[in-house]
Amino acid sequence: MAETKVVLPGDIIDTSLDSDEEESSVLRLGPGVAQIDEQVSAVAAGVLHSDNEKKQWWVVSNKRRYVPAEGEPVVGVVVARHGEGYRVDIGSAQGALLPLLAFEGATKRNKPNLAVGTVVYARVAVANSVMDPEIECYNSHTGKSEGYGELAGGFMFKCSLGLARRLIDSKAPVLNALGSGIPFEVAVGLNGRVWINTEAPATTVLIANAIKNSEFLDAKQCRQMVKELLEKQ
């Protein structure tokens, strides 16, 4: 991960690459970044993140409402069913459409039957300003579920969008510290929702509290906090 800095709407972003990569590279612009004329500019206030290996730039800001972006993982709740699929609440301004066939191996004769209230882990397939977002419970590029689908049992809670983006990192300190001492399942959505599943309710409460308390702690403080929680368990 490259350096990060704070940007404001209108700030010009330097996306220059090494000279030998410049001509053949395709830039990936994520949330908060857009190409305006010949320049790449920030369109939202927040912290600019970049990954030179993936040639990707995006802005992370702690918004109150989630704005869907293609390819992002989300945790949603089924709120209605209709002829074409399901309406799912993902915390955005509009509910998302989950097609009946948007599951690994789904066919017209063999497809999941989700009840209202079911929690699902999905990825955003379509996101633009002229239509409702569409999600899918598998990766349509590979045809595999890759962990997406119905989340049976467990407990879902909300956190800030900024914390969710830190938790999605495989090196998230609090999740690594918890995983070294407690067996549990977790699904993190960039829409600020986290689902966890453990063997005991007390363990679920401990993990949820640890995750919420980690928002303003560094890696060392996260490890110490988790250690103290486990000692009290």
Quickly list DSSP for 65-122.
S----TT-EEEEEEEEEETTEEEEE-SSSSPEEEETT-BTT--SSS---PPTT-EEEE
Residue 10 covered by a domain: yes
6: number of Cβ within 10 Å:
12
Q: Is the pLDDT of residue 187 over 80?
A: yes
**CATH code for the domain of 131:** 2.40.50.140
User: Alpha-carbon distance 116 to 233, whole Å?
Assistant: 35
Report which of 186, 183, 212, 187 is spatially closest to residue 199, judged by C-alpha positions. Answer: 183
**Number of domains present in the structure of the chain:** 3
Backbone angles phi, psi at 152, to 5 degrees: -85, 140
Residue 170 covered by a domain: yes
For 69, counting Cβ atoms within 10 Å of its Cβ (0-12 exposed, 13-18 middle, 19+ buried), the class is: middle
Q: What pLDDT was estimated at residue 106?
A: 87
Q: Which of 132, 150, 168 is the last residue of a domain?
A: 150
Q: Is the pLDDT of residue 63 over 80?
A: no
Query: Roughly what angle, to the nearest 10 degrees, separates helices 201-213 and 219-232?
Result: 150
Task: Give the 3-state secondary structure of residue 223.
Answer: helix
Average of per-residue pLDDT across 55-75: 84
Q: What pLDDT was estimated at residue 79?
A: 97
Q: Is the pLDDT of residue 24 over 60?
A: no
Q: What pLDDT was estimated at residue 77?
A: 97
96: number of Cβ within 10 Å:
28
Distance in Å from the first CA to the final CA of the chain: 36
126: number of Cβ within 10 Å:
14
What does the pLDDT look like over 78-102, one tens digit per residue? 999 988 899 999 999 899 999 999 9
Q: Are 92 and 106 contained in the same domain?
A: yes
Q: Are 145 and 120 contained in the same domain?
A: yes
Q: Are 159 and 195 contained in the same domain?
A: yes
Average of per-residue pLDDT across 143-170: 92
Q: Are 162 and 227 contained in the same domain?
A: yes
Q: Are 42 and 91 contained in the same domain?
A: no
Residue 67 covered by a domain: no
Q: Are 165 and 228 contained in the same domain?
A: yes
Q: What pLDDT was estimated at residue 25?
A: 64
| Percent of the chain's residues with pLDDT above 70 | 94
Q: Are 135 and 187 contained in the same domain?
A: no
Residue 167 covered by a domain: yes
Q: Are 177 and 219 contained in the same domain?
A: yes
What does the pLDDT look like over 189-228, one tens digit per residue? 999 999 999 999 999 999 999 999 998 899 999 999 999 9
Q: Are 81 and 142 contained in the same domain?
A: yes
Q: Are 111 and 54 contained in the same domain?
A: no
Q: What is the Cβ-side half-sphere exposure of residue 68, based on CA atoms within 13 angstroms?
A: 31
| Percent of the chain's residues with pLDDT above 90 | 54
Q: Are 84 and 137 contained in the same domain?
A: yes
**CATH code for the domain of 218:** 3.30.1370.10
Q: What pLDDT was estimated at residue 2?
A: 46
The domain in which residue 204 lies consists of: 155-232
Average of per-residue pLDDT across 143-152: 93
Average of per-residue pLDDT across 161-183: 92
Q: Which of 60, 87, 103 is the last residue of a domain?
A: 60
152: number of Cβ within 10 Å:
8
Residues 6+ apart with CB under 8 A from 88: 76, 77, 78, 79, 95, 96, 97, 98, 120, 122, 135
Q: CA distances (Å), 28 to each of 51, 119, 121, 133, 180, in order?
A: 10, 30, 24, 20, 34
126 vs 45: which has the higher pLDDT: 126
Report which of 90, 114, 153 is spatially closest to residue 99, judged by C-alpha positions. Answer: 114
Q: What pLDDT was estimated at residue 140?
A: 87
User: Alpha-carbon distance 12 to 218, whole Å?
Assistant: 30
Query: What's the whole-number average pLDDT of the chain?
Result: 88
Residue 204 covered by a domain: yes
Backbone angles phi, psi at 218, to 5 degrees: -85, 180
Average of per-residue pLDDT across 39-46: 86
pTM here is 0.79
Residue 66 covered by a domain: no
**CATH code for the domain of 44:** 2.40.50.100
Q: Are 143 and 89 contained in the same domain?
A: yes
Residue 65 covered by a domain: no
Q: Is the pLDDT of residue 109 over 50?
A: yes
